[in-house]
Amino acid sequence: MSLICLSDFEAYARDHLPKATWDFIAAGADDSYTRDDNILAFKRIRLRPRMLCDVSVIDTSTTVQGMEIPFPVGIAPTGLHCLAWPDGELSTSRASDAMNTCYIASTYSTCSVEEIAAAAPKGLRWFQLYIYRNRKLSEQLVRRVEALDYKALVLTVDLPYTGKRRNDIRNNFHLPKYLTIKNFEGAFEGYDGPEDYGVPINTLDPSVSWKDIYWLRNLTRLPIILKGILTKEDAELAVEHGVQGIIVSNHGGRQLDGVPATIDALSEIVNAVQGRVEVYVDGGIRTGSDVLKALALGARCVFVGRPVLWGLSYQEFERSCKSCVMNFACRWPLQAAKISLQSARTWCSFPSFRILPNTKKTASREERATEERKH
């Protein structure tokens, strides 16, 4: 079977993964309206191509937090990659490195942050962080990723509780006994109660508020990027609290059903921050044209989640391939998106992304400390 676009990888994964695994990856909250609208919203947007422009040389590169990447598509944080392929996040890390793009490693990985870093020592990695009731858990993760040269922290702010995903409930989905959330190994020894995707329930702290941004800033010098912002009000607060980036995200429609599609929320947030921080977007991106639409609306880079898991599922069934080829199977969806993006940009006479507005300087560490004392 020849897989040439992300829809092909999706169909393959749907047909070959165990039902409970596919349902977990595909799940949206409640009626899945927001999950589906993330995709449909891109289709409602029309490109306005300009003609007779020189597109003989195409530059797809951009920068994220000062680091150059060759094309503006990164890997969003998704958990439990070993469900799709035994090598899990190790393959994802290698694939990201092979494509020279940015990989946001999930807290809920089935490989540890150390293993992910060792799989691609020179790769560009950020780390997705949650704030837990036991702040020491979060603090220890920050220390570990700092020591491993992760380049940024992506604080997910839209998950005080896990969304209601009906098929996971119907399937009684739980982490297989042969898998663990490696980043928490030893953290919950002796616990024998109910779990939520491999971690004791009520581990997340629903009391997290804006003041905790200052708490996190005092822990680290890494850039802080907030993932899960959907309104201009929160975007403005993010800037006021000295973060370095925003990912416009609704968690792939997996948390609260009925919120805006991310591409619909993007312009509001870009207009609110006025170039003071970098703005990225995830959710529903399936073609190069989708990437181009997001960039035209002000995103510096997009991130994709589910398509990477579809790519991992493909290698599980290519057993005749050598392991070095299988390690990069999740690279193929990224390559497909890159090729599609190049074509869309050429047809729209858009040879370079370097016309994006420059990011203004955010508050210094000392200025942020002063602001924290005021609070």
Whether residue 92 is contained in a domain is answered as yes
Whether residue 138 is contained in a domain is answered as yes
Domain with 45 in it: 6-374
- When the pLDDT of each residue in the chain is averaged and rounded to a whole number, the result is 87
DSSP output for 129-188: E--BSSHHHHHHHHHHHHHTT---EEEE-S-SS----HHHHHTT----TT---GGGTTTT
CATH code, 115: 3.20.20.70
Task: Match 């941004």 to its residue by tokens.
Answer: 213
Give the tens place of pLDDT for each residue, 68-113: 999 999 999 999 999 999 999 999 999 999 889 999 999 999 999 9
Let me know how long the chain is. Answer: 375
Q: Is the pLDDT of residue 363 over 70?
A: no
Query: How many domains does the chain fold into?
Result: 1
Binding site for FMN: which residues? Answer: 77-79, 106, 128, 130, 156, 227, 249, 282-286, 305-306
Q: What is the pLDDT of residue 322?
A: 32
Model confidence band, residue 342 (pLDDT cutoffs 50, 70, 90): low
Whether residue 1 is contained in a domain is answered as no
Whether residue 65 is contained in a domain is answered as yes
Whether residue 268 is contained in a domain is answered as yes
Binding site for glyoxylate: which residues? Answer: 165, 251, 254
Binding site: which residues? Answer: 77-79, 106, 128, 130, 156, 165, 227, 249, 251, 254, 282-286, 305-306
Among residues of the chain, what percentage have pLDDT more than 90?
Answer: 67
pTM of the predicted model as reported, rounded to 2 decimal places: 0.89
Q: How far apart are CA 61 and CA 68, in angstroms?
A: 7
Whether residue 368 is contained in a domain is answered as yes
Active-site residue (options: 174, 241, 251, 375):
251
Token couple for 111: 């490989």
Whether residue 260 is contained in a domain is answered as yes
On whether the CB atoms of residues 313 and 16 are closer than 8 A, the answer is yes
Q: Which residue has the higher pLDDT, 52 or 321?
A: 52
Q: Is the pLDDT of residue 15 over 80?
A: yes
Give the tens place of pLDDT for each residue, 140-172: 999 999 999 999 999 999 988 888 999 999 999
Q: Is the pLDDT of residue 351 over 70?
A: no
Q: What is the pLDDT of residue 345?
A: 56
Active site residue 251: yes
On whether the CB atoms of residues 41 and 264 are closer than 8 A, the answer is yes
